[in-house]
Amino acid sequence: MSITVIYTIVTLVVIGAAAAVILYFVAQKFKVYEDPRIDEVEGALPGANCGGCGFAGCRAFAEACVGASELNDLNCPVGGNDTMSGVASILGLEAVQQDPRMAFIRCNGTCDHRPKTSSFDGAGTCAIASSVYSGESDCQYGCLGYGDCFDACDFDAIVMHPETGIPEIIDDKCVACGACVEACPKDLIELRKKMPKNRKVVVACRNMDKGGVAKKACEVACIGCSKCFKECPFDAITMENNLAYIDSDKCKLCRKCVPVCPTNAIQELNFPPRKVKPAEKEECTTT
């Protein structure tokens, strides 16, 4: 073995040892203490990084959980109560049960119900269309159908109906992250309390025009007649700006409001067929 090889090995060993010593001291000097529970909590989270909790990703949420003294305001809508109990047990805090929620699109203005009065051929996103004009029908509140919510959904829970052009939410896939709520420029999507078997009684309309104007623009518009408001035994319905709204936290799914609605703006979904008036039910849930 030549002397060159020996020198090389010795030099490299010396450099390596010196670097190791330097790195050790640097690492000690600049050490950042991180609570090991953050990693643990992050591991318990779904890892979708959807932002549904209001934080920038799961790690930020985990940090917030570890730093919090109670979990009242913190909720991972994707994981739900199981995940939050897991997080609570890691942190030794009390788990807070939250009602699971799911998205609902408050517009049923399909082409059959809402005649087109103009057409738009600009760039096809809801954000652009809504900034330049009110929509292809006379209803300025309704769904534009360019699918900004579809693009925003990370969970494949929204599909654009091929015939009506109105998005539909697949209840089982929706995790209530709220990305679609943010994306909709018409503010049509609402996160409602999840009921057993995904049952819903909802006003599928956001039209705040007076009755005549609303009805002219769309057959299934809420005309603000207040019949449902008077019918509701649980005070779940409020009237504001010519528009009825059913509070999902108060609604007991009695369905008394559905038959009184003169325009079929109130929808009942995922219920078994009604015995008395099957025809009416069919009309209400065609889409």
Residue 201 tokens, joined? 């009684």
CB-CB contact of 101 with 77 (8 Å): yes
Q: How far is the CB of 27 from other proteins (least distance, A)?
A: 34
CB-CB contact of 253 with 282 (8 Å): no
Q: How far is the CB of 123 from other proteins (least distance, A)?
A: 4
Amino acid at 83: T
Which C-beta is closer to other proteins: that of 81 or that of 125? 125
Amino acid at 201: V
Enumerate binding residues for other proteins (CB under 8 A): 117-118, 121-123, 125, 127-128, 131-135, 138, 140
CA-based nearest residue to 153, from 81, 83, 84, 105: 105
Alpha helices in the chain (DSSP H): 3-29, 36-44, 58-67, 80-91, 126-132, 148-152, 179-183, 211-217, 227-231, 257-260, 278-284
Which C-beta is closer to other proteins: that of 10 or that of 127? 127
Q: How far is the CB of 115 from other proteins (least distance, A)?
A: 13
Which C-beta is closer to other proteins: that of 86 or that of 147? 147
175: Cα separation from own chain's centroid: 7
Which C-beta is closer to other proteins: that of 186 or that of 192? 186
39: Cα separation from own chain's centroid: 26
Q: How far is the CB of 2 from other proteins (least distance, A)?
A: 57
Neighbours of 17 (CB within 10 A): 10
Q: How far is the CB of 135 from other proteins (least distance, A)?
A: 7
d(Cα 38, Cα 235) in Å, to the nearest integer? 43
Which C-beta is closer to other proteins: that of 99 or that of 182? 182
Q: How far is the CB of 133 from other proteins (least distance, A)?
A: 4
Which C-beta is closer to other proteins: that of 42 or that of 148? 148
